[in-house]
Structure formats: C-alpha cells, structure tokens
C-alpha cells in the first residue's frame, strides 16, 4: 500500500494537491473478481470474513482492485475507531470508503497520475449503502476548517500527478490536528497496578529502539485485558531496569508534544491500539521524515 508522510498546514494553500479527510478506520484493499469481493488489510491479511456486511459487489461495474478505508460512523456522522474495533458487539454496520483504484480488468493503473485514477474510480462505482467514494477538494483550508470543527483526525494531501507506489511517499502528506505516532509496545512497568505504563519503541534503520513510556490515556479494565495478552521475551531493546520485556508484536497510537533529539517522546498520552498495523511499519521516519 502507498502510505503518507507527515506534512504541515502550509501545504493546504498549495494548488498541486487534492485534499481528503483522514478517516479513522481500517485501511484495506478491496478486490473484486468473478463477482466476489475480498478485503486485504495493510498487514496483508484477508479480513473479508470479519466484515460480511460489505456485500456491494453489484455496485462495482468491473473486476478491479480498490484502495480505501473501512469505517463505522457514530451518531454524529463521524468515523469512530472504537465502534469499528468492537463492531461485532453492536448493530452499526461498516462502510467502505474508496479513494483509489490500482487495477481494472487486469490492467495495472498504478502508473497513471492520481487525477486520472480518480476519474476511472468514479466511473466504475455506484455509491450507496455500504460503499462510498472518498470526498475530495482542491480547497485545503476550507476542508481544514470543516475537519477541525467536527473534531476529526486531519487531512490527507495528495499530489494530483502522483503515481501509486508501495510504501511511504512524500507525494501523499498527512496533516493532523494533533501529532500522534504509532509505536511498538516493547515492555511494561509494574508499580501500584498490574501495568503502570507501557514501554514504547520504534524501528530505527531496522533496529528497535526505546523511546519512552506512556502511563495515561487508558482504563483499568483495558490494562487488565492487555496484560493477559503479553508474552515475556528478551526482545533485545535496551530498557530501564524496572521494565519487563515483552514480545514486540503489538502496536499502539499515542499523542505527544515533542520527539526529542535523544529519541524520547515528551508528554505521551495513549490513544488506541492499532491491530491493523504491523510493528515493522513503526519507524523513526514518522518523526524524522514524516509518517
């Protein structure tokens, strides 16, 4: 999948980009072949069976591969990651929001500029029900005002002539209302409770390094559940002596004020778990080159 780097608000004034809302959901490819739909996560996992409500094959006019976001909207119309994470426990149905097309009837479209891919995408999709097209605009500042008023995550700015490439690219930029970072959980600290804080890590040129701990933003019940999933392991990360090492296979998102030159997060606050993201994607590029 093509991933966005971090950008700054000044980009919103540029005429080189098209701007889309950043939706809080699960990134997924949607593949239609011989009338059947298949959904693949960014971790390359088949998640079709997890979202049986996404049965809109008849609304896609040809075999193709789409890129988009699976979301669940709350009562205000905002996408809610919490509802999506627990969608099997309630009646709210997910929606697939398509924003790109990579292949059409066996033809690779990834080398076409984004502006042309979007025209192709709009031409083969019939919106409605559980299938939507991602809204976009050339007025980044107007969209920013809407996003901030609705307390959404931010904006994705995409170069109009960008081709689709795998991995992170500065042709697509992520402009967030608040800075957050996806980290690998490498350990935990026990004090007055089973888990007092989580030790966080990032991959720096292939090596997992310690970047600090987060001790706020979660509930006691969440910590109790999380503790049951940890597996102790000497993971090779240099941690403070009081921190217990765990297998580095879980990812969480944290909000922070600064990433220091000493590779430490300042004032981190836990936001959510990221079951949809593999640990290998949690790199220092998020803060040094953008993510």
3-state secondary structure of 116: helix
Residue 275 is predicted with a pLDDT of: 87
Give the number of domains in the chain. 3
Q: Could you list the active site residues?
A: 22
274 and 192 in one domain? yes
**Domain membership of residue 195 as a residue range:** 180-290
C-alpha Rg value of the chain to the nearest Å: 20
Task: Write out pLDDT tens, residues 186-235.
Answer: 999 987 778 999 999 999 999 999 999 999 999 888 888 899 999 998 88
Looking at 177, 206, 236, which one is the last position of a domain? 177
144 and 6 in one domain? yes
Q: How far apart are CA 192 and CA 277, in angstroms?
A: 31
230 and 219 in one domain? yes
Q: How far apart are CA 67 and CA 2, in angstroms?
A: 9
- Strand-strand pairing, 258-259 and 17-22: unpaired
User: Which residues of the chain fall short of a pLDDT of 70?
Assistant: 288-291
CATH of the domain at 88: 3.30.470.30
101 and 226 in one domain? no
229 and 143 in one domain? no
List of residues 6+ apart from 130 with CB closer than 8 A: 53, 54, 55, 56, 93, 94, 95, 96
129 and 37 in one domain? yes
Distances (CA, A) of 132 to 67, 78, 193, 200: 12, 14, 44, 36
194 and 257 in one domain? yes
List of residues 6+ apart from 167 with CB closer than 8 A: 2, 3
Residue 291 is predicted with a pLDDT of: 43
189 and 119 in one domain? no
158 and 240 in one domain? no
158 and 104 in one domain? no
Looking at 153, 177, 201, which one is the last position of a domain? 177
102 and 34 in one domain? yes
């Amino acid at each position: 999948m093509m991933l966005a780097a971090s950008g700054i608000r000044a980009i919103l004034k540029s005429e080189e980009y098209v701007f889309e809302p950043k939706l809080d959901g699960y990134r997924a490819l949607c593949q239609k072949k011989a009338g059947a739909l298949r959904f693949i996560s960014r971790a390359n996992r088949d998640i079709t069976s997890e979202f049986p409500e996404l049965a809109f094959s008849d609304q896609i006019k040809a075999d193709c591969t789409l890129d988009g976001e699976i979301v669940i909207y709350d009562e205000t119309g905002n996408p809610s990651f919490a509802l999506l994470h627990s969608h099997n426990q309630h009646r709210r149905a997910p929606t697939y929001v398509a924003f790109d097309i990579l292949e059409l009837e066996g033809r690779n479209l990834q080398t076409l500029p984004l502006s042309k891919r979007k025209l192709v995408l709009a031409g083969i999709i019939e919106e409605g029900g559980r299938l939507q097209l991602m809204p976009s605009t050339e007025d980044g500042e107007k969209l920013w005002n809407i996003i901030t008023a609705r307390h959404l995550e931010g904006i994705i700015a995409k170069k109009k002539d960008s081709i689709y490439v795998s991995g992170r690219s500065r042709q697509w930029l992520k402009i967030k209302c608040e800075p957050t970072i996806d980290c690998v959980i490498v350990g935990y600290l026990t004090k007055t409770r089973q888990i007092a804080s989580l030790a966080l890590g990032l991959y720096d040129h292939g090596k997992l390094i310690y970047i600090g701990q987060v001790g706020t933003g979660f509930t006691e019940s969440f910590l109790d559940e999380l503790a049951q999933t940890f597996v102790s392991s000497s993971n090779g990360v240099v941690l403070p002596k009081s921190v217990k090492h765990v297998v580095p296979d879980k990812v969480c998102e944290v909000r922070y004020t600064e990433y220091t030159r000493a590779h430490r997060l300042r004032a981190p606050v836990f936001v959510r778990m990221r079951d949809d993201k593999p640990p290998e994607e949690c790199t220092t590029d998020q803060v040094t080159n953008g993510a």
